[in-house]
Amino acid sequence: MAKIHFSKLKIKDLENIFQENNIPKYRGKQVFEGIYNHFAPSFDHINNIPKDLKLFLNQNIDSDIPKIVEKSTSPDGTCKYLLRLQDNNLIECVYLPYQKRNSLCISTQIGCPVGCVFCASGAHGFVRNHNVWEIIGQLLAVQGDIKEKLTHIVYMGIGEPLLNLDNVVSSLKLINENFKISERRITVSTSGITSQIYKLADYKLDITLALSLHSPFQEEREKLIPTAGRNPIQKLFLACDDYFKKTKRRITWEYILIKDINSDEYHAKELSKLAKKYKAHINLIPCNKTDNYNHNAPSEKEIKIFTGILEKNKVEWTLRQKKGQNENSACGQLRANHLNEYENL
Ligand code: SF4
C-alpha cells in the first residue's frame, strides 16, 4: 500500500483501511481522537492503541506534520509560527487567541505570485502551491503546540488562496469534517482573481469570502495590487454578485488603511457608495510598516473620521484589533527574516 498522508483521510477512510487489514473498526475513532482531540504529535503518542497498531500506522500512513522552527509571541498572545515542510521550504501561520475563540491564519502558497506592495510575503517571489496536507498540517502543528482546539480558520496568510483553489477547497472540507470547524467559521481571502471567484461560487460553500479591495479606485488599486489591472474592479463586483447569488453569503471587503494613500475623507465617501451598492461589510486593517513598504497606518483621529463617514452612510464596518504588534507582525515578515538562514537546508 502506497503511503497516504493522514491529514487527507476522513474517519471512514481510516476505518475502511483497518477493516481491509483485519483491524477492528473502532480503532479508527481512537486514532482520530488521539490526533485531532488530544493533539498527539504522532501515532506513537496515542496512549490507548496497541503497539502493533502503531507499527501498522507508521508503516502505511504518513503522519509527518510541519515542524515548528520558530515562534514569535506578542504580549497580547498572538503567536506567529515559522514551520518547515518535508522539502525544507518555510511557511508561516499566525495563531490569534481571542476571548472566546482560537483563530489560525494559514498560508496556501510558498511565497506569493501577486506581490501586493505593502506585503512582505510577495516581496520574495513565488515558489509553489501548498498541497492539502501542508495546509492541514498547519492546524495540526499549532493545535499540538497550544494543546487547545482551534475554532476559526482564516485563509489569509502567505499566498493567494484562489490560485490554489482545488487544494484549498479540499482542505476546508477536511477541516470541516475532521476538526469539526463549521464552514461559517472559515474565511477565505482573495486579492481579487475574478475567474476564480466564479469557480469558488460554484462549490456553494457556507464560508465567508473576503475580497481585498484596498481602494475604491481602479488606478490606485493597480498600484497596490499588481494583478488588479487584469481584474478590473467592475468585473470583480460582478463576480462577487454571482458569488452572493449562488451562496447567499455576503462578501467582506478587506481595506488596509494606509496613511496619505487611501484613508482620507474622499476615499471614505467613495468606499461608502460602493459598499452600499454591493451590500458589503468593510473590514478595516491598519497598515503594518515592513522593510519593503515604508508607510504607516493613519492616526487614531484620522481613522475615526474615516469610520465616521462609513457610519453616516450606514455602511457596516469593523476595525481589526491591532494584534501581534511586534517587529515581525507583518504577513510574511518572519519567513522573510529567515529565508537566507533556512531556505537551503
Ligand atoms: S497580501 Fe496576500 S495576495 Fe497580496 S502579496 Fe501578500 S499574500 Fe499575496
Domain segments of the chain as ranges: 4-62, 67-342
Going from the Cα of 111 to the center of ligand 1, the distance in angstroms, rounded, reads: 9
Residue 35: phi and psi, rounded to 5, are: -80, -50
Going from the Cα of 118 to the center of ligand 1, the distance in angstroms, rounded, reads: 8
Do β-strands 102-105 and 317-319 pair in parallel, antiparallel, or remain unpaired? Answer: unpaired
Compute the chain's Rg from CA coordinates.
21
Each of the 345 residues of the chain gets a pLDDT tens digit; together they read 568 889 889 999 999 999 999 999 999 999 999 999 999 989 999 999 999 999 999 999 998 899 999 999 999 899 999 999 999 999 999 999 988 899 999 999 999 999 999 887 767 789 999 999 999 999 999 999 999 999 999 999 999 999 999 999 999 999 999 999 999 999 999 999 999 999 999 999 999 999 999 999 999 999 999 999 999 999 999 999 999 999 999 999 999 999 999 999 999 999 999 999 999 999 999 998 777 788 899 999 999 999 999 999 999 999 986 665 554 555 555 555 555 443 333
Q: Provide the β-strand partners of residue 188.
A: 155, 209
Q: Does the Cβ of 111 fall within 6 Å of ligand 1?
A: no
Catalytically annotated residue among 15, 70, 92, 254: 92
- CATH class as words, domain 67-342: alpha beta
Catalytically annotated residue among 79, 119, 287, 331: 331
Substitution candidate for ligand 1 out of 188, 191, 211 with most atoms within 8 A of CB: 191
User: Residue 278, exposed/middle/buried by CB under 10 A (0-12, 13-18, 19+)?
Assistant: middle
Contact 61, 51 (CB under 8 A): no
Q: What is the pLDDT of residue 336?
A: 56
**Does pTM top 0.85 for this prediction?**
yes
Q: Does the Cβ of 122 fall within 6 Å of ligand 1?
A: yes
**Cβ neighbours for 153, distance < 8 A, ≥ 6 positions apart:** 103, 104, 106, 139, 172, 175, 181, 185, 186, 187
Cell (9 digits) for 2? 502506497
CA distances to 77, 85, 102, 284, 318 from 99, in Å:
11, 31, 8, 20, 17
Give me the residue label for grid cell 483563530. Answer: 103
CATH 1.10.150.530 holds for 4-62: yes
CA distances to 84, 85, 143, 225, 337 from 88, in Å:
5, 5, 21, 29, 16
Distance CA 27, CA 24 (A): 6
Verify whether residue 93 is a known catalytic residue: no
Contact 111, 126 (CB under 8 A): yes
Do β-strands 208-212 and 186-190 pair in parallel, antiparallel, or remain unpaired? Answer: parallel
Cell (9 digits) for 237? 463586483
Distance CA 100, CA 104 (A): 13
Q: What is the pLDDT of residue 187?
A: 95
Substitution candidate for ligand 1 out of 121, 230, 329, 334 with most atoms within 8 A of CB: 121
Q: What is the pLDDT of residue 343?
A: 37
Q: Does the Cβ of 224 fall within 6 Å of ligand 1?
A: no
Q: Provide the β-strand partners of residue 274.
A: none
- Of all protein residues, the one whose alpha carbon is nearest to atom 4 of ligand 1 is 116
Q: Does the Cβ of 216 fall within 6 Å of ligand 1?
A: no
Distance CA 195, CA 182 (A): 26
